[in-house]
């Protein structure tokens, strides 16, 4: 696997919590510099923006875009046009059309574009997908609830257009579901609870089905206090599969199959290195399409909840 030099665009909470440890654990990845008008990292060259970083470091071959969603398209496109491989934090864009354009640009430039659905790299996901592959699903229950004050402290962009609100974590659940369920599934109903001073929902109740008539229910909520709930339960052919703790714990019919430490971002960077080495892209828009359907098809209900 070839080594590559990386530039980080955005130095927020997700970078400090997840990207930096994963980069340090990826021998082929060498972090060269960062671009962020408000933050920097010790002992690394820091720049106000992407273009300045790339101008100063022509040896950078890849960039990770970790900025708020509405900023990612312009930054990713600029990097691709300069021949850089690009990793996009989830979701890969604020709209489907943005992502589709980035796919076309990456193909034209002959570089790799990677939509980083990190939850798909949770320890139990691949085994769950394998087990479900030849089964008929009857019922799916998804519960993805957390405290927004813990996971997005002071991040006002999440309540603005393109910020996605509770779908920012909820799309992680959808990224797992679209990966492991053996049939495509389609939205039937969506109830979106939107705070009176926000543009995106603080909670959502979704109902889906698949071509075989499975019942698929998802509940997303940003108002939970205490530990998060990141669980899904799938009834199939008389058996039950439970993927909990964000995909770290897998049980089938009350038998513990996997219970492992979360190392999703290490998996992401290992995969990014593979894609760069082969100059291939990997951009699945299925989770983002499900969110777009929810906004298009959903019923928006105002709430007195007030976002500070």
Active-site residue numbers? 90
**Number of neighbouring beta carbons within 10 Å of residue 156:** 12
- Which position has the token pair 């590559």? 4
- Which position has the token pair 């962009």? 157
CA distances for 100 relative to 89, 267, 283, 286, angstroms: 16, 24, 9, 12
**Run of H or E including 194:** strand 186-195
The residues with which 193 forms a beta bridge, in sequence order, are: 203, 301
- Rounded Cα gap, residues 1 and 6, in angstroms: 15
- In the three-class reduction of DSSP (H, G, I as helix; E, B as strand; rest coil), residue 297 is classed as helix
Q: Is residue 275 within 8 Å of 284, Cβ to Cβ?
A: no
Geometric angle at alpha carbon 124, from 119 and 125, rounded to 5°: 50
């Amino acid at each position: 696997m070839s080594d590559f030099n990386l530039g980080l665009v955005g130095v927020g909470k997700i970078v400090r919590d997840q990207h930096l440890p994963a980069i340090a654990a990826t021998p082929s990845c060498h972090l060269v510099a960062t671009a962020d008008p408000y933050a920097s990292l010790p002992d690394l060259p820091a720049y106000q923006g992407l273009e300045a970083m790339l101008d100063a470091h022509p040896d950078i071959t890849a960039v990770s875009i970790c900025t708020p969603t509405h900023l990612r398209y312009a930054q990713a496109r600029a990097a691709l046009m300069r021949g850089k491989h690009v990793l996009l934090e989830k979701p890969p864009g604020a709209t489907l059309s943005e992502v589709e354009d980035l796919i076309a640009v990456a193909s034209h430039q002959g570089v790799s574009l990677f939509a980083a659905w990190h939850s798909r790299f949770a320890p139990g996901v691949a085994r769950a997908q394998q087990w479900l592959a030849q089964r008929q699903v009857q019922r799916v229950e998804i519960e993805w609830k957390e405290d927004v004050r813990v996971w997005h402290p002071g991040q006002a962009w999440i309540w603005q257009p393109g910020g996605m609100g509770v779908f920012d974590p909820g799309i992680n659940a959808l990224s797992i579901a679209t990966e492991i369920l053996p049939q495509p599934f389609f939205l039937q109903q969506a109830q979106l609870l939107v705070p009176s001073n926000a543009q995106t929902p603080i909670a959502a109740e979704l109902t889906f089905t698949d071509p075989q008539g499975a019942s698929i229910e998802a509940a997303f909520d940003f108002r939970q206090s205490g530990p998060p709930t990141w669980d899904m339960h799938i009834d199939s052919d008389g058996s039950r599969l439970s993927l909990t703790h964000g995909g770290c714990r897998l049980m089938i019919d009350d038998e513990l199959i996997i219970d492992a430490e979360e190392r999703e971002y290490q998996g992401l960077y290992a995969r990014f290195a593979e894609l760069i080495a082969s100059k291939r892209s990997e951009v699945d828009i299925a989770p983002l399409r499900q969110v777009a359907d929810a906004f298009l098809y959903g019923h928006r209900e105002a709430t007195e909840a007030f976002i500070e």
